[in-house]
A = this chain, B = another copy of it.
Amino acid sequence: MSASLPTDLEIAHAATLRPLVDVGSDLGLTEDQLEPWGRDVAKIDLAVLDEPDAGHRAKYVVVTAITPTPLGEGKTTTSVGLAQALGRLDKRAVVALRQPSMGPTFGIKGGAAGGGYSQVVPMERLNLHLTGDFHAVTAAHNLLSAMIDNHLHHGNKLGIDVRNITWRRVLDVNDRALRTVIVGIGAREDGLVRQTGFDITAASEVMVLLTLATSLEDLRLRLGRIVVAYTVEGKSVTADDLQAAGAMSVILRDALKPNLLQTLEGGPAIIHCGPFGNIATGTSSVIADLVGVRGSDYVITEAGFGADMGAERFFNVKCRVSGLVPDAAVLVATVRALKAHSGRWVIKPGKPLPEGLLAESPDDVRSGLPNLRKHIEIIQRFGIAPVVAINAFPTDFDSEHAVIQQLCDELGVRCAVTTHVADGGAGALELARVVTEAAEEPNDFRFLYPLEMPLTEKIETVAREVYGADGIDVSPSAAKALAEYERLGFGTLPVVIAKTHLSISSSPSLKGAPTGWRLPVREVRAAVGAGYVYAICGDMRTMPGLPKSPNAERIDLTEDGSIVGLS
């Protein structure tokens, strides 16, 4: 962040890694339960979960954020820094994070493994293939796609309505030209001509299904339930109907095992799955957390985007599946994001910050506080104690931090400044101390809605009680689909709202804590295998493109075979 800090890659390269067996042992894992997968990376044998449980359960802490700028406000670095700090306080802490998507690494953003002195290493492995789990998702997803087109080609015995196939294909690459394609062109033996498209692998239902599966058996069952199309009569067609789910589960067998890496300070980091934050849960895996809580004092896990999106889904979807009850929620706030929420500054990705935004202005911060206050309320709505983490930047002023702390004092909410990017775990000690305090308090965790509530009501409940909308406007086609889903038996699934992450509302330009607006439900889709229905409330891009000068142009090997340009 500071000009004087080395690059993330330089810091990662300079690190001395602990033997992974020692790292695993901190998590209560024996050498036998670790399958080395290249140097300094291992898969964790799922048999650990079958071992008799001594009843020990770690404190479970989710890291979320205020509504971020397009640059992100540092949830990953805070998660890593917090885990590092807890380690320094002699707590056994593990951080459970998503695996970064490889495609975007070659687009704008470069690597994503934390940053500065709060990173997960080995950084190149994390940002490239890691252990191939994303590739396995791609392969399983596309085998199902091929089996659909093959079924059509060989006579369509199931009577699939060719105009109502919802299953697309995926690739882990930013490739805008694949968003919409026509396949099957050519001769008779080249299949049926039809329009479809590709999403990025992170947006695959298989990815989020893997994230939510609790065991290999559960994975197999969920895969079988994936709905890929509908018949002309409106009957759903599943992966099991196509006899594809067995082969898919075979392809995903190793991918279900979470990956063990380490933080820069040698603590355990479990990296597993990376579902999209907009249309999916945006969380790391249930399995990772289940492994983590058995063998540590603290599991720090991250939920994508702001608390309105990530934390809400974490609570209502992920915790419902895992059965785990969170003990605290860290809410990451930055001075720059709060200044942006004043409405006075616009931050654009790939551009330098506006100079005026960098000037000392507690007033700008104060004007942005309604966003923080709203996110605090969202977390409290679930019965969980929030802890505000001020992710400090070298360009911040004490007066600006003071404004944030003052609000927290008023609200009786714990708050700490953290400098983990520049200082590693040492910079997050105060945060760690208040997190342990919060986590020791009794909590009153509750879901926002019961599963029996009809889908439309669930969506409306999230819109009103989390986002603060006045209501929802359901398009006629969405209303029809919702009725169909109830009829097909999907009505008891939880919901995921796909909306912009740049506002609590559905309009990216509305900053702060917007009121007096209604959520437009344009379209709904069913991720039956993963286990939720999602409502599209805005333009959701599921296949990114590359910028004019993609990062790939600057990534290369040096003469000695090491990597440059990854961050």
Using CB atoms and an 8 Å cutoff, list the residues of chain A in contact with chain B.
35-39, 43, 102, 106, 128-129, 131-132, 135-136, 138-139, 142-143, 145-147, 149-150, 153-154, 171-186, 189-192, 194-195, 216-217, 220, 243-244, 246-247, 249-251, 253-254, 545-546, 548, 550, 552-557, 559, 561, 563, 565-566
Asked whether A136 and B147 contact (CB < 8 A) given A185-B181, A190-B176, A557-B246, the answer is no
Contacts of A195 in B (CB 8 A): 185
Closest CB-CB distance, A43 to chain B, in whole Å? 7
CB neighbours of A546 from chain B (8 A)? 146-147, 150
In the complex the two chains form, is B189's CB within 8 Å of A183's CB?
no
Q: Which of B136, B180, B217, B246 contacts A565 (CB 8 A)?
A: B246
* Copies, count: 2
A246-B557, A253-B561 as given contacts; A176 in contact with B189, CB under 8 Å: yes
Q: Kindly state the separation between the CA atoms of A261 and B136 in the bound complex, as whole angstroms.
A: 21
Name the CB-closest residue of B to A149: B177
* Residues of B with C-beta under 8 A to A132: 129, 131-132, 135
| Nearest CB of chain B from residue A141's CB, rounded to whole Å | 10
Contact between chains at A190 and B186 (CB < 8 Å) = no
CA distance A175 to B175 in the complex (A): 19
A86 to B414, CA, bound (A): 71
Q: Give Cα A15–Cα B216 distance, bound, in whole angstroms.
A: 24
Task: Return the chain B residue nearest A46 by Cβ.
Answer: B561
Whether B176 and A545, one on each chain, are in contact in the complex, defined by CB atoms closer than 8 angstroms, is no
- Tell me which of B179, B217, B250, B556 contacts A250 (CB under 8 A): B556
Cβ contacts A to B, 21 pairs, < 8 Å: A37-B38, A38-B43, A106-B143, A128-B250, A129-B139, A135-B138, A139-B172, A145-B173, A145-B175, A153-B176, A179-B185, A181-B183, A220-B556, A244-B552, A244-B553, A246-B553, A246-B554, A247-B552, A249-B557, A250-B556, A250-B557
Note all chain B residues with C-beta closer than 8 A to A43. Answer: 38
For A146, give its contact among B36, B150, B177, B183 (CB under 8 Å).
B177
Residues of the B chain whose Cβ atoms lie less than 8 Å from the Cβ of A171: 142, 171
CA distance A195 to B181 in the complex (A): 10
Asked whether, in the complex, the Cβ of B254 is within 8 Å of the Cβ of A38, the reply is yes
A561 contacts B216, C-beta separation under 8 Å: yes
Given contacts A35-B39, A102-B139, 15 further A-B contacts (CB under 8 A): A35-B36, A142-B173, A145-B173, A146-B546, A147-B552, A149-B176, A149-B177, A150-B550, A177-B184, A179-B191, A181-B183, A181-B185, A247-B553, A247-B555, A250-B556
CB-CB < 8 A to A177: which residues of B?
Answer: 146, 149, 153, 183-184, 190-192, 194
**Which residues in B have their C-beta under 8 angstroms from that of A37?**
36-38
Could you tell me if B176 and A191 are in contact, using CB atoms closer than 8 angstroms?
yes
